Chain A
């Protein structure tokens, strides 16, 4: 027996000595939790894709509302990146501006502003988004709400006049004074209240045609006006696999269904509601934020439907005429709970959580 044991012991010993020899090499190996599938998807890559997807929107905004849009975008990006850099520096944290997430936040903030906004307000919004909404909660991946979106709400509450100071399309090109008219969303709100939306919209003179709504020839913030440019970005993001269809489609779909009922079947009314205001910008670029939306497909659809319903209720019954940002913020707060409710069932378990029994 002893003889039989001995080789085992010596084997152990030799194994130990081998381990000792390899210790230096082993310590260089990384131990990570599963999944071990390697993917080329990095934070930096995703953020770069989002920036690329936003470029048509920015270009359309600048074409319709004037080149000042570029200045605002530059200010937003610069102040966001600077705020992130200074915060990390001040709090002695590793520098995170390289992941480009601050640049995306700055770009989204800029796209949520009217083109007339004073630059210092853009800086205030960016600093608020980066420092208070993102970094104080732990940085990228730990923020409970979308920073750019919360900054928009912060600015809407802080500077109501400046945030609603819209220009008419191509006003920057003409020298003559152009009288600003009611925003499309306000006309839509009036149409809903009138009781017969379809006839109200055809009668309303200052309501843009569906083509101009689609191309972006209306009043609004820099980023929200051109549905065409937003859809280009959407297709790019889908093609690159950065976002999935579930949230945008369920969000916009819910709005379409509710508005079809509210508009008494008027397709004009539905198209107007979808194409005007921040719905597409919010549904494509803000609601799909990884950190603040649910993880499972089922959860994402619940999230999208919730966003759509709240948007409709605010637009139809609220005093604001626009509710996309509030809707997304509210659903951001709900998303951990949605995640908990829609936790996927592990393979091999029954619905009640027990082990599945093979039917013999």
Chain B
């Protein structure tokens, strides 16, 4: 497979829209649907994933010559779960409310396909610097997807924006700002009320589908040929191609 040279900037930015891990590669959908009912937990999940992704990409890229190819998946998982444990302890210590809100989904970052996917298809083949950029870009893409899903779900389904933000940003705890309660502000003038189904899982799937369609449309509009998605670049497929 002839590889085209990709600039560092594109390595960083491709995760935003073009190869957005959630909305284009359809990876990591479990946390994307499970914790996106409130913006605060979605952002918390996004940041935790970015931290894990950057750290694992760095370590795996640095150790790519040391890890034997036959046992690479177990080796990656050990590295990933170590990093997840570190992040989990940090969140538990500093953001206990977020830790409770994320629940089981925080340790489940270990099996988030985005992280293993990037390790397998990028970090194990590229330099440390590029891997950090890739991890950061993909992580931001994940955060952006979660942010947009949760923005729609929380606003339409709960009538609030960034409700409970103080638990995510402790330095705000002195101020009076703790999210915007649109619903109760509007309810004084009109009979409108939140459409609660969007907080429920069914609404999560609907918003997810709509955003996926939107991102696909943006990508089609650019007129570029569709990018090769998914695991096309990983070693298993390389072998089959040969």
Contact = CB atoms under 8 A, between A and B. Distances in A.
B191 A159 contact: no
Interface stretch (B21-29, B165-173, B174-182, B194-202): B194-202
Given A154-B197, A159-B193, 18 more contacts: A118-B191, A120-B191, A120-B192, A124-B195, A132-B206, A157-B196, A157-B197, A157-B200, A157-B202, A158-B194, A158-B195, A158-B196, A158-B197, A158-B198, A159-B195, A159-B196, A160-B196, A162-B193
B189 to A, nearest CB: 13
Contacts of A124: 195
19 contacts: A118-B191, A120-B191, A120-B192, A124-B195, A132-B206, A154-B197, A157-B196, A157-B200, A157-B202, A158-B194, A158-B195, A158-B196, A158-B197, A158-B198, A159-B193, A159-B195, A159-B196, A160-B196, A162-B193
Interface in A113-171: 118, 120, 124, 132, 154, 157-160, 162
Interface in B206-222: 206
Contacts of A132: 206
Contacts of B198: 158
Contacts of B197: 154, 157-158
Contacts of B192: 120
Interface of A: 118, 120, 124, 132, 154, 157-160, 162
Contacts of A157: 196-197, 200, 202
A74 B200 CA distance: 30
A144 to B, nearest CB: 14
Contacts of A162: 193
Contacts of A160: 196
Nearest to B194: A158
A176 B195 CA distance: 33
B157 to A, nearest CB: 8
Nearest to A160: B196
Contacts of A159: 193, 195-196
